[in-house]
Amino acid sequence: MSATSGVPARPDLPDDAPARVRLLQAAALTSTFDRFALAPLLIEIGRDLGVSLAAVAAVASGYYLAYGLMQPLWGLLSDRLGRVRVMRIALAGTALAAVVSVVAPTLAVLAVSRVVAGAMVAALIPTTLVYVGDTWPVAVRQRPLSDLLAASSLGTAAATVGAGVVAELVGWRAVFGLTGVAAAVLWVALRRLPEPERAPPGALLAPLGLVARSGWAWVVLGLAFVEGAVALGTLTFLAPAVQGLGWSPGVAGLVAAAYGIAALLTSRLVRRLVGRVSPVVLAAVGGGVLAVAWVPPAVSVGVATILASGLLLGVAWAFLHTTLQTWATEVVPRARAAAVSLFAAVLFLGSSVGTALAAPLADAGDYPTLFGVALTAAVPDAVAAFLAGARYARAHRRR
């Protein structure tokens, strides 16, 4: 979190900054759509291929595992190969994996193609964040990061609602085809994106060492882990909670999509507040709303309370997550790619842990306890984000 109190009158931005942001947004949207589109298709895939839901769920687990584990590797490669080149390599791999997914005759083939897709698409969002960190001054950096969050949120909402609709109308294979076409188009379009200047790379693992020696980096990574568990991990169970009340998957998807819609809209507000409001305040607002988000369903599980929880969660994500992302881009400037990729990896590791810990409660239908535990974990995370951000700002203001 920068200690800068205001935005310079004429920040040192590239002349084509809006065009660059649009391309980065398209990459972020494609990544998020591919990641969130798989869950609504699990039942349809199982029926078509004649396998159990548990078997198809294992495909999703492999995708998410590959997505998380590949983040640091892509960060290191972007230091050596360049940010734009890495994104184009990943997009080419995503397009090829999508083609295989569309024609996959068996679950085994589909599993391999989805794991490859997860490994490829994992490069896009962290590399776009690093690109912003390389190109935009820290005083205004959270604005393009908010734009990326808006694109990611749109991808989340579109995948949550649209994947199921496309699967019903055309078939589940068409969903992967959409991602493949988008990746191919972007592979061509990113030729227009200039490569940012960066320092000559040193030893391959040296950036990881720099991050490991930074105390503040450990703080950011710790906050990201808890955020992933409390926010993304528990988010997984919003739709199942609605279905547990007897509603259809379509209604459950619409209710769960409230998160993406709220994050999309709130990101516009956050963008306007950057430079006018301290990052510490933005983090405090986001952390506070994250805690409050779990109060309604912890008290009473119903469609209205789950809808309210999804909306509040989207607001919290827009405030807190973009602030932590900004912090990750500046906490170790000499190893920005490594720091941001580790941030993303830890975030999704936290999501996996949160999902695994909450699964037994969801299986038992004990959603009030599940959301109550999320509330209990969110409160100290909110306090820690505020206190750590304030201390970081004071320390860097004295420099």
Using alpha carbons, list the distances in angstroms from residue 169 to 103, 155, 164, 175, 177. 18, 20, 9, 11, 14
The pair of three-digit structure tokens given for residue 384, joined into one six-digit string: 């820690």
Q: What is the pTM of this model?
A: 0.74
Q: What is the pLDDT of residue 92?
A: 97
Closest CA to 122 of 208, 64, 176: 64
Using alpha carbons, list the distances in angstroms from residue 292 to 115, 256, 297, 298, 371. 35, 17, 10, 10, 11
The pair of three-digit structure tokens given for residue 209, joined into one six-digit string: 């060492």
> What is the DSSP code string of 167-189?
HHHT-HHHHHHHHHHHHHHHHHH
CB atoms within 10 A of CB 257: 23
The pair of three-digit structure tokens given for residue 314, joined into one six-digit string: 């989207």
Cβ atoms of residues 244 and 367 within 8 Å: yes
Q: Which residues contact 85 (CB under 8 A, 6 or more apart)?
A: 195
Q: What is the pLDDT of residue 2?
A: 46
Angle between helices 172-189 and 17-37 (to 10 degrees): 160
CA dist., res. 76 & res. 208, Å (int): 8
CA dist., res. 208 & res. 191, Å (int): 29
Burial class (CB in 10 A: 0-12, 13-18, 19+), 385: buried
Closest CA to 154 of 182, 114, 189, 118: 182
Q: Which residues contact 397 (CB under 8 A, 6 or more apart)?
A: 3
> What is the DSSP code string of 185-252?
HHHHHGGGSPPPP-PPP-STTHHHHHHHT-HHHHHHHHHHHHHIIIIIIHHTTHHHHHHHTT--HHHH
> What region, left, alpha or beta, does residue 209 occupy, with left being phi > 0 and alpha being psi -120 to 50 degrees?
alpha
Q: What is the pLDDT of residue 359?
A: 76
Type and span of the H or E element at 362: helix 336-363
> What region, left, alpha or beta, does residue 311 occupy, with left being phi > 0 and alpha being psi -120 to 50 degrees?
alpha
CA dist., res. 317 & res. 116, Å (int): 28
Closest CA to 195 of 341, 274, 80: 80
Q: Which residues contact 96 (CB under 8 A, 6 or more apart)?
A: 116
Taking only the tens of pLDDT, the chain with its 399 residues reads: 544 333 333 456 667 888 999 999 999 999 999 988 887 777 778 889 998 866 777 787 788 878 888 988 888 888 888 999 999 999 999 999 999 999 999 999 999 999 999 999 999 988 998 898 888 887 778 788 888 878 888 888 888 778 777 887 888 999 999 999 999 999 999 999 999 876 666 666 777 888 888 888 999 999 999 988 888 888 877 877 887 888 876 677 788 888 888 988 898 888 788 778 888 888 889 989 998 999 999 999 999 999 999 999 999 988 998 889 888 888 888 888 788 888 888 887 888 788 778 878 877 888 899 999 999 999 998 899 888 888 888 877 655
